[in-house]
Amino acid sequence: MMNTSSITKDIFGKTKDGNDVHRYTFTNKNKITIRVLDYGCIITDILVPDKNGEVKDISLGFDDMEGYLTRSPYCGAVCGRVANRIAKGKFSMDGQDFQLALNDVANSCFLHGGVTGFDKVIWDTTVNDDRLILRYVSADNEEGFPGEVNTTVSYQLSDDNVFSIEYTATTTKATPINLTSHAYFNLAGQGTANLDGHVLQILADHHTPMTAHHIPTGEIAPVSGTPVDFRKPVSLSDKRKELCDGQGFNLSFCVGEKGKLKQVARLEHVPSGRTLDVCTTEPGLQCYNSSELTPTVGKGQVTYQQFSAVCLEAQNYPDCVNNSNFPNSILRPGEQYRQTTTYTFGILS
């Protein structure tokens, strides 16, 4: 089928250094609109219709650059070169020890790419028909990582309501790579105070148990018979009450072989009829119900609250660089990192 979706471009704002930040708007024939910045590859808006045709924005974010520069909890951004946690900011590779910034102070670890990760830089952009291609060259020793890394992120929206993200990376020296998109979803519409009415299914038989500081123990454990079993659809409101005495959750699931595109999750909002299917080539899926989100003024001057969104982040396992039994995360010269993740928007039948 011919794809009739299109991309337009405008200026969204400026960085603190005065550089222009551009916004790219995708639209398709089914009233879906998605907006992306060249700053951090940030997805700012995802507007989709409900069962009655009413269009709402289902992603948390901000109306201007000031929000993204000063108070964003990585809303919609691409995180890298390592997205998830590295315990104590340390890893060893090829006989050499590396120390990264402990930018997640509360948990004494490195998180989301560091102090100035991929989410805080302007990417070079190219529009190729209905595809937006963003490119960033990360310098050798940036954030303490070895090697110059050349990364591309490609976005595309189809008339089948599939929003595709494709990542590639190459390096001049061996280095860990683990990229993800940190979108916050609420299918009832951004600004809704909670996740009531949301049902989530995650197609994973195993997970990586965590310490109280969200660091994997190194075990790969079955979900069967545990509170983290999402293999059948579960109410997110009920699951929040069940897990961690109602304090929320930040879970890492083992969703299958790396490199093979497969469905890993389905999110439904029964009242509106909106659905979201997630497919990925990654071995892991991080599920986070915004339990650590502090009151934050977002789009439309709405204050986002704790438990007001869910993140479904396709990636490798947390701290994979320090666990030899986890999937490999080291990219070497002559190799290419590749990831495809898709989000398909639909309506309950």
Q: Looking at residues 197-211, what average pLDDT do you find?
A: 97
- Establish if 123 belongs to a structural domain: yes
Residue 286 scores a pLDDT above 70: yes
Q: Is the pLDDT of residue 30 over 90?
A: yes
CA 73, CA 76: separation in Å to the nearest integer? 9
Instruction: Give me the mean pLDDT over the 165-175 stretch.
Output: 98
Instruction: Give per-residue pLDDT as tens, 236-254.
Output: 998 888 876 656 789 999 9
Dist. CA 215–CA 222, nearest whole Å: 18
Q: Could you tell me the CA-to-CA distances from 102 to 56, 105, 106, 185 in Å, in that order?
A: 38, 6, 9, 27
Average pLDDT over residues 40-51: 98
Q: How far is CA 130 from CA 11, 12, 122, 342, in A?
A: 19, 20, 21, 15
Task: Look at residue 293 and tell me if it is in a domain.
Answer: yes
Residue 102 within a domain:
yes
Query: Confidence band (pLDDT; 50, 70, 90) for 4?
Result: confident
- In a domain? residue 1: no
What confidence score (pLDDT) does residue 2 get?
A: 59
Q: What pLDDT sits at residue 247?
A: 65
Tell me the percentage of the chain whose pLDDT exceeds 90. Answer: 94
* Domain presence at residue 106: yes
Catalytic one among 142, 143, 182, 207?
Answer: 182
pLDDT of residue 207: 98
For residue 128, give every residue at least 6 positions away whose Cβ sits within 8 Å of its Cβ, in sequence order, or none.
Answer: none
- The CATH number assigned to the domain holding 332 equals 2.70.98.10
- Mean pLDDT calculated for residue range 169-177: 98
Mean pLDDT of all residues belonging to the chain:
96
Domain count, the chain: 1
Which is catalytic among the residues 143, 268, 282, 313? 313
Question: Is residue 120, in this structure, part of any structural domain at all?
Answer: yes
Its domain, for residue 220, covers 6-347
CA dist 81 → 84, 85, 230, 345 (Å): 9, 11, 29, 28
Indicate whether 6 pLDDT > 90: no
Burial 247-272 (b: 16+ CB within 10 A, else e): ebbbbbbbbbebeeeeebbbbbbbeb
pLDDT of residue 241: 81
pLDDT tens by residue, 252-285: 999 999 999 999 999 999 999 999 999 999 999 9
Number of Cβ within a 10 Å radius of residue 66: 13
- Model confidence pLDDT, tens digit, residues 313-341: 999 999 999 999 999 999 999 999 999 99
313 is catalytic: yes
Q: What pLDDT sits at residue 246?
A: 59
Whether the pLDDT of residue 118 is over 90: the answer is yes
pTM reported for the whole predicted model? 0.97
